[in-house]
Chain A
């Protein structure tokens, strides 16, 4: 850019400038939405990442409680399954999960321990693989079911992938919202800048006749858009914080047991704090370009 961005000069009448009141509010609103969308994207990213890490390389083998007649066999079947699993290359660890632990896992859905005690709980084996894909799961599954009646592999991948796909969709929507907000910001700034040029047409003509370059005028409009953008942007951010906190608290109560907690780290908060600067810079660049383009059409 041929002009420096910082100028204190503003040769145009302030009081005739409705934009001064209009633009910051619009930007505040857009930054408000953008902060929520961005916070959503960041939190979901974080969550998806955590799930992926937590679940990758693990699977659970489930052995249904046998019919009453063979109930006594449960222990034997678990042992058989463990034997097969431990003998499988690529599996580093296979541990049976104690009944009490299984009961605890199911408690949120089924109620207190008393209710669970009588149920035929499946036996669960927690399996850890050396790495994702180091074990042929289908072959393993076939061998298990052949040797141990009622055994099946519960690959977390299946439901995890569904969840991740859902998160991906939500993220895509949030990103689209961010992009739309960017486009709307550009559109708004183009519109308000053109209006400003029309309002100040007389002064602009005088400046031209006095020998002002377009850049002299563009610089002033750009700097002004930057300032109004920062003002509106940080107002929007401040307004978005209570909403974010509410959403966090709400998510906590709603789904502490179902969803891993949505949370933002320091880097994420930093990104949110910088967002208004980004929007203000977009406003500045847009205003500058709009002025240059509009003036280029004059004599």
Chain B
């Protein structure tokens, strides 16, 4: 179902991550994300949610273990092929990472431009999307002049503009009111219906409860699928396998 004919979008096997010589922030993380899935990523502050997402969007290399994206083992993927993989991934960074000297329009247009899109199409798509997230009047504004919630929406628009196969959103509703949060969630649902796999890291329990998607929980460096959410999985196949190695019995989730 995915572009490379593989049955997963993301696959981690015994992935460990440490920063420098520090302790392992992630330990033996093993899971698969299936095409078309919609997941919440939960965990206390500092549990490693952002770190896990960074591994997926190739901002970090794991200290050990195997990571495969769309069927490509990233450890053996040549550097020049990475941009092509990254273009299939949309990321809403926790700290937005907008380019402050570019207008909202140019920020959102970036993924299309780096992929060599045509300017006329870019113009139309970006305008439309910015209007949709309620930033019609801020098209020319630079991020520092926008409110936190407005910046967040620019960041979301930039993440989804190129119709990614995989959307990773790190606290995407942290700075907006509940109504806007719902609106953005519906945007993600729309995208999901079009086939995009979605992972949303969030602390917003009411949103999580409201949308009954599977919940991945990070605690003590390990990733587990929360009991009771398997039923939310729309397919017959298990959405996620989490196997802990050398620590008790294998528990396929």
Contact = CB atoms under 8 A, between A and B. Distances in A.
Interface in A187-216: 202-203, 205-214, 216
Contact of A299 (B61, B101, B102, B162): B61
A203 B61 contact: no
B100 A13 contact: yes
B97 A202 contact: yes
B114 A209 contact: no
Given A11-B102, A13-B100, A216 B58 contact: no
B57 A211 contact: no
B91 interface: yes
A296 B79 contact: yes
Given A209-B91, A296-B79, A14 B101 contact: yes
Given A11-B110, A299-B61, A209 B101 contact: no
Interface size range of chain B in the complex? 20 to 34
Interface string B147-158: 000000000001
B99 interface: yes
A224 to B, nearest CB: 14
Contacts of A206: 97, 99, 110
Interface string B57-98: 111110000000000000000011001101101010000010
A16 B99 CA distance: 13
Interface in B98-131: 99-102, 106, 110-111, 113-115
Given A11-B110, A296-B79, A299-B61, A211 B84 contact: yes
A9 B80 CA distance: 22
A15 interface: yes
A207 to B, nearest CB: 6
Contact of B114 (A205, A207, A296, A299): A207
A12 B106 CA distance: 12
B87 A211 contact: yes
Contact of A211 (B79, B99, B106, B111): B111
Contacts of B97: 202, 206, 209
B102 A210 contact: no
A119 to B, nearest CB: 82
B93 to A, nearest CB: 8
A211 B161 CA distance: 13
B111 A210 contact: yes
Give the residue among A207, A211, A213, A216 with the most B Cβ atoms within 10 A. Answer: A211
Contacts of B83: 208, 211-213
A16 B83 CA distance: 27
Interface string B39-73: 00000000000000000011111000000000000
B113 A9 contact: yes
A208 B86 contact: yes
Contacts of A11: 99, 102, 106, 110
Contacts of B91: 209-210
B114 A216 contact: yes
B110 A209 contact: no
B99 A210 contact: no
Contacts of B58: 209, 299
A238 B227 CA distance: 76
B86 A207 contact: no
Contacts of A16: 101
Contact of A207 (B100, B101, B110): B110
Nearest to A210: B111
Contact of B86 (A9, A14, A210, A216): A210
A210 B114 contact: yes
Q: Which of A13, A16, A205, A206 has the most CB of B within 10 A?
A: A206
Interface of B: 57-61, 79-80, 83-84, 86-87, 89, 91, 97, 99-102, 106, 110-111, 113-115, 158, 162
15 contacts: A13-B99, A14-B101, A206-B97, A207-B114, A211-B87, A211-B89, A211-B111, A211-B115, A211-B162, A212-B83, A213-B83, A213-B114, A214-B80, A296-B79, A299-B59
